[in-house]
Amino acid sequence: MLRYPWSKPIISEADTLAVKEAVKSTWVSGGSEIIDFADNLKEFLDSTHVIPVNNGTSALAASFITLNIQPGDEVIVPAFGFMAAANVLLQMSAVPIFADVNDETWCVDAETLDACISPRTRAIVVTHTYGNSSNFDLIASTNAEKWNIPIVEDAAEALGSKLRGKALGTFGDFGTFSFHATKLITTGEGGAIACHNDKVAEKLRLIISHGLDRSNHYVHQLPGANFRMPNLCAALGNSQFSRIQSFIKERREVDSKYRTRVCAMKHANIIDFQKLYTSEIVPWSFPVRLQKFSLEKQRLAATLLLQKGIEVRPGFRTPNLLPYFDSRVNPMCFPNASSLSVRILSLPAYPSINEEDIDYICESLDNVIEEVG
């Protein structure tokens, strides 16, 4: 029996009522809830524009379409992190170029990016994995001085996280977000794009809605898609948003309790993202890096923990471990990412988990590590 799922959304009676009221309004697709949700996010992020969409992957796709990414164009993506951006690029017949990540931040930095730049590079994706940030100030300054390439921030796991007081997802040319059930707040599915450029925002709004501006019905201004967020999803998001500060506080408290417990373990270690680059991190998950682990040991440990009612997730798989990527992808080009992929177990972490639960999970992990060897 699954006692501790890896993640669990916190849905209140008020959330349920908000969705019910949205249904009763008959505004199922478009509606005022979407406008309110965009306004809430815009104020929270301090972003000039926020465009809600139906999921985080659509946010990435709309950003790439806006950048006019063409077949054969190269886009740099992290070798460690959720593969949504790379997957979208493959579907567009573009070429994802995989950059290694920094061993301290688990994100790309200016040095790892520099090695991947070529004359064919059309964009850089910076993914804020586990809610953490790279030294984005350095990336931005290096980009301005040397590359001048558009930056897409994949902040799907980083809503609420800040770097030196500024929200992640608002540094680059595009910031993409996800409101999947595992995220800080959820709309069921759902996402958003943040940007500061008026013309870019205008184009994004056309792209997500069939290329129509609705002032001239059926006259498409460009070949857009339907990436719109439904009003029902936005209603849930607005209700969740009213408790966002509480969710942030609770996630940080869970993270702190885990850190105290894991620091006493022999065969595991953690990185304190909060101390890096004056960051204010809202943890998306609680990843533990295990010593002397391998892919086989990682899988066995996850199976043994599941038998104890604990669901965990492995590290993000690097492209050399995914069969649909080109066999020429060389893991030697991203040694840090390759190591993290097989040595990480991400533990259950959500607001309703308590200290007794954390003690049981960590004790079970300690025993399983000893058993696996």
Q: Any idea which residue has 């790439």 for tokens?
A: 64
- In three-state secondary structure terms, 205 is helix
- C-alpha to C-alpha distances, 156 to 78, 131, 212, nearest whole angstrom: 14, 8, 27
**Full DSSP string of 310-371:** B--EEPPPPGGGSTTS-TT--GGG-HHHHHHHHHEEEEP--TT--HHHHHHHHHHHHHHHHH
Structure confidence at residue 277 (pLDDT): 66
Structure confidence at residue 263 (pLDDT): 86
pLDDT tens, residue by residue, 316-330: 999 999 999 876 688
Lowest mean pLDDT among 38-42, 83-87, 209-213, 324-328: 324-328
Q: Where are the domains of the chain?
A: 13-241, 244-372
Structure confidence at residue 278 (pLDDT): 65
**For a pLDDT cut of 90, what percent of the chain falls above it?**
83
Residue 201 is which amino acid? Answer: A
**For a pLDDT cut of 70, what percent of the chain falls above it?**
98
Check if the beta carbon of residue 151 is closer than 8 Å to that of residue 163. Answer: no
| DSSP secondary structure code for residue 147 in this structure | I
User: Is 90 exceeded by the pLDDT of residue 137?
Assistant: no
Q: Which two structure tokens, joined as six digits, stand for 114?
A: 């520099």
Check if the beta carbon of residue 22 is closer than 8 Å to that of residue 232. Answer: yes
- In three-state secondary structure terms, 188 is strand
Give me the torsion for CA of 88, 91, 95, 96, rounded to 10°: 30
pLDDT tens, residue by residue, 260-309: 998 888 778 887 776 666 679 999 999 999 987 899 999 999 999 999 99
**Full DSSP string of 64-77:** HHHTT--TT-EEEE
Structure confidence at residue 265 (pLDDT): 85
- In three-state secondary structure terms, 44 is helix
Q: Any idea which residue has 């060897």 for tokens?
A: 373
Nearest to 362 by CA among 290, 294, 296, 283: 290
Average pLDDT over residues 112-139: 93
Structure confidence at residue 330 (pLDDT): 81
Q: Which two structure tokens, joined as six digits, stand for 54?
A: 């139906």
Residue 65 is which amino acid? Answer: I
- In three-state secondary structure terms, 58 is helix
User: Is 70 exceeded by the pLDDT of residue 180?
Assistant: yes
Q: How confident is the model at residue 1 (pLDDT cuts 50, 70, 90)?
A: confident
Q: How confident is the model at residue 256 (pLDDT cuts 50, 70, 90)?
A: very high
Which CATH code is given to the segment(s) 244-372? 3.90.1150.10
pLDDT tens, residue by residue, 51-75: 999 999 999 999 999 999 999 999 9
Lowest mean pLDDT among 19-23, 117-121, 131-135: 131-135
Residue 147 is which amino acid? Answer: W
Nearest to 158 by CA among 235, 110, 106, 117: 106
Structure confidence at residue 270 (pLDDT): 82
Bridge partners (DSSP) of residue 124 are 76, 151
- C-alpha to C-alpha distances, 280 to 34, 43, 99, 192, 193, nearest whole angstrom: 28, 18, 25, 21, 21
> In which element (H, E) is residue 237 found?
helix 231-241
pLDDT tens, residue by residue, 355-372: 999 999 999 999 999 998
Rg (the chain; Cα; Å): 21
Could you tell me which CATH class the domain 13-241 is placed in? alpha beta
Q: How far apart are CA 14 and CA 240, in angstroms?
A: 9
* Phi then psi dihedrals of residue 269, to 5 deg: -145, 165
- C-alpha to C-alpha distances, 351 to 192, 203, 281, 311, 357, nearest whole angstrom: 23, 37, 15, 16, 12
